[in-house]
Homo-oligomer: A and B are copies of this chain.
């Protein structure tokens, strides 16, 4: 029957008032060591457990945060969540999950998460925050931090796309490639645009001219072009260039890189003997395809997100800060010096 022991019975059994019981429950200093011990003893004997919701009601705080998260990001999702849980565990907070399957659901889920008293904070993942919800968010004044997303008015944790793309491209150049192409995703996506920037800068830093012909995007628009087919299509386009085709590519995501490699292999090109590829993300598949790529520190991002949220929960007047992690180059077997 799940013990129904309340502080009243504990108080009676220990011969004290409920106030004292509450105090030992909350580690309030104003209890003599002896009383504290006695009460604790009784609690143990009676197998007392505080009723979470009574505490939450009286304290007017929930000790719970919510995560609004798209269901399509697999590995990234799991890893970041691990970081989040790790951080939350230390704070003694619970995590309630709102998974969204498509953008339509974003708003209703946020609204739900905004219900009075429900959560002390919100973590919003990998999606565009709908503008029209922002006023309500601000009005509710519940702390929120964006992870792998960006909005000027809210704290955010994300990855330095420009720097990552710069490093990826530079790696290709450093091993001798002078003509490096880029398989990009749709420009409307901020990460895609930033990664293009990084690519351009790397070329410029090395005195290589940027050429529009060397940047291609597939037509498949799913997930803003960050999908396997789009990578395949873009590479097919490159292959059509014949002699003019670059022998090294920076691809804006691993999943596209896998598509690109399929196109390459179907057309008789070997990786890395004939062409070098570096991806971005370091998804689980990357390891299996031995793909050289840029790794995002997912676990740390999760931890940092919680840290940031905690800071904001305890002090709401902090100024907005956007934290950015630099991705790390993981060299595997899809890149080889130009020969």
Chain A interface residues (CB < 8 Å from chain B): 1-4, 49-54, 56-57, 62, 64, 71, 74-75, 77-78, 81-82, 85, 94-99, 101, 114-118, 139-142, 258, 284-285, 288-289
Cβ–Cβ < 8 Å partners of A95 in chain B: 96-97
Contact of A57 (CB < 8 Å), options: B1, B49, B51: B51
- How far is A48 from B96 in the complex, measured between Cα atoms in Å? 23
In the complex, 28 of the A-B residue pairs with CB atoms within 8 angstroms, ordered by the A residue number, are A2-B114, A2-B117, A2-B139, A2-B140, A2-B141, A3-B116, A49-B115, A49-B116, A50-B116, A51-B57, A51-B117, A52-B115, A52-B116, A53-B53, A53-B56, A53-B57, A53-B62, A54-B57, A74-B284, A77-B78, A82-B99, A85-B97, A96-B96, A96-B97, A285-B285, A285-B288, A288-B288, A288-B289
User: Which residue in chain B gives the minimum CB-CB distance to A67?
Assistant: B97
| Dominant SS among interface residues on chain A | mixed
A82 contact from B75, B101, B142, B258, Cβ within 8 A: B101
Q: Which single residue of chain B is at the shortest CB-CB distance from A85?
A: B99
Do A99 and B77 have beta carbons less than 8 Å apart?
Answer: no
Residues of B within 8 A of A85 (CB): 97-99
Separation of A82 and B71 alpha carbons in the complex (Å): 7
Q: Which one of B53, B74, B140, B288 contacts A117 once the chains associate, using CB atoms below 8 Å?
A: B53
Q: Considering the chains assembled together, what is the distance between the CA atoms of A41 and B158 in angstroms?
A: 43
Closest B-chain residue to A113, C-beta based? Answer: B94
Q: How far is the CB of A59 from chain B (nearest CB, A)?
A: 9
* Interchain CA distance A117-B48 in the complex, whole Å: 12
CB-CB < 8 A to A258: which residues of B? 288
Given contacts A74-B284, A116-B3, contact A96 B64 (CB under 8 A): yes
Please report the C-alpha to C-alpha distance between residue A169 and residue B231 in the assembled complex, in whole angstroms. Answer: 36
Chain B residues closer than 8 Å to A1, beta-carbon distance: 141
Is there an interface contact between B82 and A78, defined as CB atoms closer than 8 Å? no
In whole Å, how far is A224's beta carbon from the nearest beta carbon of chain B? 20
A159 to chain B, nearest CB (A): 20
In the complex, how many angstroms separate the beta carbon of A75 from the nearest chain B beta carbon?
6
* CB atoms of B116 and A2 under 8 A apart: yes
| Extra A-B contacts (12), CB below 8 Å, given A4-B116, A52-B115, A258-B288 | A2-B140, A2-B142, A50-B116, A51-B116, A51-B117, A53-B56, A53-B57, A54-B57, A54-B117, A71-B82, A82-B99, A284-B284
Nearest-Cβ distance from residue A48 to partner chain B, whole angstroms: 9
Closest beta carbon of chain B to A22's beta carbon, Å:
16
A1 to B78, CA, bound (A): 33
Contact at A117–B284, with CB atoms within 8 Å?
Answer: no
A35 to B224, CA, bound (A): 50
**Residues of chain B contacted by A49 (CB below 8 angstroms):** 115-116
Q: Is the CB of A74 within 8 A of B78?
A: yes
Residue of B nearest to A64 (CB): B96
